[in-house]
A and B are shown apart, each in its own frame.
Chain A
Amino acid sequence: MKFVFEKRKTQLKRLLFLIPFISFVGSLFLSGLLLLAFKTNPLMVYGAMFKGAFGNWFNFQETLVKAIPLMLAGCGVIIAFRMRFWNIGAEGQLVMGGIFAAWVSLFLIDFIPPWLVLPAAFTAALIGGGLWAGIPAILKAKLGVDETLTSLMLNYVAIIFCQYLYNVVWIDPNGYGFPGSKIFDKAAWLPRLTGRVHLGLIFALIIALVLWFMLKKTKWGFELKIIGESPMTAKYLGINIPKNIIIALFISGGISGIAGMGEVTGIAHRLTHGLDMGYGFTAIIIAWMSQLNPIAAIFVSILMSVLLVGGDQVQRTMGLPSAIGLLLQGMILFPLLAGALFSEYRVKSIKSIGEAVK
């Protein structure tokens, strides 16, 4: 007897949602062991995290604030991953979107009516993030250059470029030389719904819904899936792969760009540090945990946000390093990745060739 893995024809839906849940519990358990090793009660830690994230209306708002860029970047990543295009450049695309939105809010604002500023910033962010994702897409589609590495490298180019802008080129002339652009005109402030929760939340929810529909119900969504699962079939069906890659990646990067716009025009109201907070990398974990489902990504984003916001709370109330949040975030995928084997493959026992002959 011998066991082999056979790819499932259809993913098991039951496992599709059970596995992320088990993963979450699993990572809490694993981290709990680590905390115990440092003579800390993990239940206390998780309790503090929960309280920090949901304890009162304000904390919950802040959890949402942090979840907004994660939701958007997560959705962006999902599009690319659907066709197995490993875009790990969401971080850079987010930063580029922020830069473009800041450009509108700092300069173009003088030439357009106030009501047009935010739509213009939105469009600019979409284009900024889209173009930045477009580079690896075109390189892949036209020349076959590996997208994982190019999109990764472009993150750092965008981040350093952004630092250069707010440290040197766009620095506030009245800011006593401290890093950061001048504060935008009020016309470029993204309206807030409550507390610091800005309109970006609505963007994220709409985008997730539309995306879910597009991926599930339209021909375009189907084409992406086919390209991802079997490029040969796609070719056979006459799908234009290069065109699809470029368009999908433009949208993927564009959505991450909007996340950047939200941070710049909704939170900071200026271009300054705090844009490259690692949201783009967390987005990849979110995309994976939500099994590339945009609706699920909304919930997973909130969960990730709980870990990050809760990390601070752990430090405030228990005096433990806030890095616990990051630690949990990194751990959360291990059980999931291991478990994915069972949702995507099934174990089949076969008689080895030798036995069969006998």
Chain B
Amino acid sequence: MKKKLYWLILIISALTFLTGCQKKTDVSDSGDKAAVEQTEKFKIAFIYIGAPGDLGWTYEHYRGKQMIETKYGSKVETVHIEDVPEGPDASRVIRQYAQEGYNMIFTTSFGYMDPTVEVAAEFPEVYFEHCSGYKTADNLSTYFGKMYQPRYLSGLVAGSMTKSNIIGYVAAFPIPEVTRGINAFTIGVRKVNPDAVVKVIWTSTWYNPTQEREAAVALLDAGADIIAQHQDTTEPQKAAMERGKLSIGYDSDMGSFVGETVLTSPVWNWGAYYTRTVGEALEGTWKSESYWGGLKEGVVELAKMSPLVPADVVSLVETETAKIISGSWDVFDGPIKDQDGNILAAEGESIDAGKLLSQSFFVEGVDGKLK
């Protein structure tokens, strides 16, 4: 008797919930239908690891999305979802968009790689674009940028402006993309200032404003007078500013959020790639690829310099930018020595491809451990 009552309650509750919701879902259903009837819009979804409010990584992808809207206007419809953790939930969210008839899905964090591959295999007619990974398929492209180029340029600025000859670098994980950035930055620093060192602290997190700040303060206490970073928030820049010290941003033009103590920032400009790949998809010429654009393609760039940067440094950066864009020289062209003084590449040579990819070394001038 008691059991029956229990089941009764359960069923009734389920029914009330069902019927209660039915009415409401009708409303949104009709909304959906209206959208479909309107046109055959090309529907694009973005999966974000954070929120555009981070003013860093996700903000830049958000800006890229806006550029798609600006360029293609009513031909496209874009949506995004924020704060999707890189765990079991990512696969569900990606698949839901695919099922709802989205034509193109951008997954904008490395940890979405396996879920994207998984879902892409099930929806061959949907275009997938995964940022920063290394697995492709017929309907799955990867895309990333040569961030090391603007990092090198920002290194020139930092090297010219440090007084203590110690530059702090708050870094997330010792992965190739991060070490490549540290190496390129340090090559830039040492080019203009052979006495300066770049001190590295690993935070073991991409996004934890509190820890990023603590790491920056530790570097300032260790004598650094400029803080560079490879994180996803502006906290290291704020920490430096509060101590009256300078900094180099990353991801987005952090100077516009924090102030002129941010000398410059190597920034992403995803719009350059997004508008291209969406255009190709619209015309039907889209092909799977592993895109790795640089300064030349415009997908990475150096943000506007702070007024604190002297004119001669600005013009040096301009010359070096032109050199890289022309293709006559790139950052990892020799001569390059590693941390212990061993020669990695002699004059006129370049570092061998394997090492360049794995970045299993630190160049001379880096004060830190690769682990």
Instruction: Enumerate chain A interface residues (CB-CB to B < 8 A).
Output: 13-14, 17-18, 21, 24, 43-44, 46-48, 50-51, 55-56, 58-59, 62, 65-66, 163, 167-168, 176-179, 183, 196, 263, 267-270, 272-275, 277, 299, 309, 312, 315-317, 322
A168 to B84, CA, bound (A): 24
Asked whether A21 and B175 contact (CB < 8 A) given A47-B24, A176-B134, the answer is no
Task: Evaluate contact between A178 and B110: CB separation under 8 angstroms.
Answer: yes
Tell me the complex Cα distance, A18–B13, Å.
Answer: 10
Contact in complex: A312, B81 (CB < 8 Å): yes
| Distance A170 CA – B86 CA, assembled complex (angstroms) | 18
| Chain B residues whose CB sits within 8 angstroms of the CB of A309 once the complex forms | 92
B344-371 Cβ-contact flags toward A at 8 Å (1 or 0): 0000000000000010000000000001
Q: Is the CB of A14 within 8 A of B88?
A: no
Contact (Cβ within 8 A) B96 A59: yes
**What are the 8 tightest A-B residue pairs by CB atom distance, in nearest-first order?**
A274-B87, A47-B24, A177-B175, A50-B21, A13-B2, A17-B6, A47-B21, A62-B92
Over the window 86-120 of chain B, the binary record of Cβ atoms lying under 8 Å from chain A Cβ atoms (1 yes, 0 no) is: 11110111011001000000000011001000000
* A277 touching B173 in the complex, CB below 8 Å, given contacts A43-B24, A312-B93, A316-B96: no
Chain A CB within 8 A of B335 CB: no
A-B contact pairs, 22 of them (CB 8 A): A17-B10, A21-B9, A46-B21, A46-B24, A47-B27, A51-B28, A56-B99, A58-B99, A65-B88, A66-B88, A176-B134, A178-B173, A179-B173, A196-B91, A196-B92, A270-B114, A272-B111, A299-B10, A312-B81, A312-B92, A312-B93, A315-B81
Interface of A is mostly: helix
* Among A58, A66, A176, A277, residue most surrounded by chain B Cβ atoms (within 10 Å): A176
Q: How many angstroms from the CA of A268 to the CA of B118 in the assembled complex?
A: 11
B25: contacting residue among A24, A50, A58, A163, CB under 8 A: A50
Contact pick for A18, options B9, B84, B371, CB 8 Å: B9
CB distance from A31 to the nearest CB of B (A): 15
Pairwise interchain contact A24-B13, C-beta atoms closer than 8 A: yes
- A244 CB, min distance to chain B CBs, angstroms: 28
Contact status A274-B92, CB under 8 Å: no
Q: Are A21 and B13 in contact (CB under 8 A)?
A: yes
Return the contact of A274 from the options B23, B85, B358 (Cβ within 8 A).
Answer: B85
Minimum CB–CB distance from B243 to chain A (whole Å) comes to 30
- Is A44 touching B24 in the complex (CB atoms < 8 A)? yes
- A58 touching B21 by the CB < 8 A rule? no
Select from chain B the residue with minimum beta-carbon distance to A318: B28
Collect the chain B residues with CB atoms within 8 Å of residue A267's CB.
88, 91
Chain A residues in 8 Å Cβ range of B21: 46-47, 50-51
Question: Is B293 on the interface with A (CB-CB < 8 A)?
Answer: no
> Closest residue of chain B to A13, judged by CB?
B2
Contacts known (A14-B2, A17-B5, A44-B24); A58 close to B95, Cβ less than 8 A = yes
Q: Closest approach, in angstroms, between the C-beta of A200 and any C-beta of chain B?
A: 12
Judging by beta carbons under 8 Å apart, are A176 and B175 in contact? yes
Decide: A65 and B92 in contact? CB cutoff 8 A: yes
When chains A and B are docked, how far (Å) is the Cα of A123 from the Cα of B211?
38
B204 at the interface (CB under 8 A from A): yes
A44 and B27 alpha carbons, distance in the complex (Å):
9
Complex CA gap A196/B119 in Å reads 11
Residue among A50, A51, A176 making CB contact with B176, cutoff 8 Å = A176
When distances are taken between beta carbons in the complex, the residues of chain A under 8 Å from B89 are: 274, 312
Question: Is the pair B88, A277 in contact by a Cβ cutoff of 8 Å?
Answer: yes
Check B175 against A178 for contact (C-beta < 8 Å): yes
Most buried by B among A17, A24, A315: A17
- In the assembled complex, the Cα of A51 lies from the Cα of B2 at a distance in Å of 31
Whether the pair A177, B88 counts as a contact (CB closer than 8 A) is: no
Would you give the shortest CB distance from A40 to chain B, in whole angstroms? Answer: 13
1/0 per residue, CB under 8 A from A, across B140-184: the answer is 000000000000000000000000000000000111110000000
Q: Do B82 and A263 touch across chains, with their CB atoms under 8 A apart?
A: no
Distance of B61 from chain A, by nearest CB (Å): 16
Whether B110 lies near A167 (C-beta < 8 A) is no
Bound complex: CA A44 to CA B82 (Å): 20
Q: Give the complex CA separation of A56 and B6 in angstroms.
A: 27
Contact A14 B5 (CB under 8 A): yes
Compute how far the CA of A206 lies from the CA of B114 in the bound complex, rounded to whole angstroms: 31
Given contacts A267-B88, A312-B89, 10 further A-B contacts (CB under 8 A): A17-B6, A18-B9, A47-B23, A47-B25, A48-B28, A50-B18, A177-B174, A273-B111, A274-B89, A315-B82
Complex formed: what's the CA distance from A277 to B24 in Å?
A: 31
Does B79 have its Cβ within 8 Å of any Cβ on chain A? yes
Name which residue of chain B comes closest to A299, CB basis. Answer: B10
Q: How far is the CB of A283 from chain B (nearest CB, A)?
A: 16
Chain B residues whose CB sits within 8 angstroms of the CB of A56 once the complex forms = 99
Is B125 among interface residues, defined by CB-CB distance under 8 A?
no
List the A side residues contacting B174 at CB < 8 Å: 177
Alpha-carbon distance A341/B359, docked complex (angstroms): 63
